[in-house]
Amino acid sequence: MISDSERGINEGLNFLVALGLSTYTEILGGLCYGNLQSNYKSNYDRFIKNYFDKKCGCEYTRADKRLSHLGGLYGAVRSELVHKYLLTGKGFIGTYSPVIFAKTLLTEYLRTIQIYQDCIYPLFYK
């Protein structure tokens, strides 16, 4: 996942990388909170709040609030990418450089994944 994301950024596939990382956020939230069958938005939001923001020091919750009129990060980023593979000029990424967004997202994602692994590793490997 990491090397694919890095290669994608290097090849200019920034929206595809953002789509992958955003989808992984939803899946990791489901794994973390024990529900891969439903509550996708809740899983996504909780994972961002508890791992990206609280444990990593990112500020995605603040961005989520600023984007509430677009459905928050889940609606403006994840859903637009998954369902439309398009981010409108009114969306979150449409107003920022996709290259900067993808690189920043990947950097913060790598820190978050390490923290997540540190939290779950003891549960499975004592």
Give me the pLDDT at residue 37, please: 86
Give me the pLDDT at residue 96, please: 45
Name every residue whose Cβ is closer than 8 Å to that of residue 59 and which is 6 or more positions away in sequence.
53
CA distances from 74 to 7, 14, 86, 116, 123 (A): 25, 18, 14, 20, 28
Domain boundaries of the chain, sorted by first residue: 2-124
Cα 50 to the center of its chain, rounded Å: 12
Does the pTM surpass 0.75? The reply is no
15-70 pLDDT per residue, tens: 788 888 888 888 888 888 888 888 888 988 888 888 887 777 777 888 888 878 87
